[in-house]
Amino acid sequence: MSILQANFDLKAKVQVAIDRIRQFEPREGYWLAMSYGKDSEVVYDLAVRSFVKFDAHFNQSLEPPELVYFGRQHYPTVKVEKQPGFNFYIKMAEKGFPLRQRRWCCEYMKEWGGSGRMVLTGVRWAESASRKRNRKLVDTMSKSRISGEPKVCVNPIIDWTTKEVWEYLRVRQLPYCSLYDEGASGRYRGD
């Protein structure tokens, strides 16, 4: 099935996302934030289809082995990086266990990448009320304690639903990590 045979609304959203990616393309290319999750896979595929310059990065932290294996198998050109000198357990002893109301770990484990660059992400409003309130198509992230320089994030699928993400993966016949079929997130696929 081609994207032309897919839901008309999705077809329109795909074109809008591609246009967004092209519109903000920096001269040096994007720093694509890759998590090997469904949303970043869609953005990776859209970036390829947009014919823009980008280099994809996976900030490795405490991911399950299935996810790391999936990434190595399906995205071998993605650069795998770790926060230099960071040890989760030492930081946890200092700051306490990360909680929903006190999430310090993402800053150290995920958000430090792309400093000083235009970052392409798979952030979507449908993921949380906080993202719906606080995130925009283009976000300027201030200088953090970790990254050193501010960065600009472009979120081309920010207005996509979870159902649309899964439909895109299915129509494009993109593989996804098996953990989606083994946990709560798998129920959204609509199969």
Could you tell me the pLDDT band of residue 100, with boundaries at 50, 70 and 90?
A: low
Could you tell me the pLDDT band of residue 95, with boundaries at 50, 70 and 90?
A: confident
Could you tell me the pLDDT band of residue 7, with boundaries at 50, 70 and 90?
A: low
pLDDT at residue 186 greater than cutoff 60: no
Task: Average the pLDDT over 111-118 and give the result.
Answer: 79
What pLDDT score does 112 carry?
64
Long-range contacts of 179-184 (CB under 8 A, 24+ apart): 179/64, 179/66, 179/67, 180/38
Could you tell me the pLDDT band of residue 183, with boundaries at 50, 70 and 90?
A: confident
Mean pLDDT of the chain: 83
Q: What is the pTM of this model?
A: 0.83
Torsional class of 116: left (φ above 0), alpha (ψ -120 to 50), beta (otherwise): left
The Cα 89–Cα 78 span in angstroms is: 26
CA dihedral 174, 64, 125, 99 (to 10 degrees): 180
Residues linked to residue 59 through DSSP beta bridges, in sequence order: 81
What pLDDT score does 75 carry?
97
Task: Average the pLDDT over 59-81 and give the result.
Answer: 90
What pLDDT score does 122 carry?
92
Task: Average the pLDDT over 134-162 and give the result.
Answer: 81
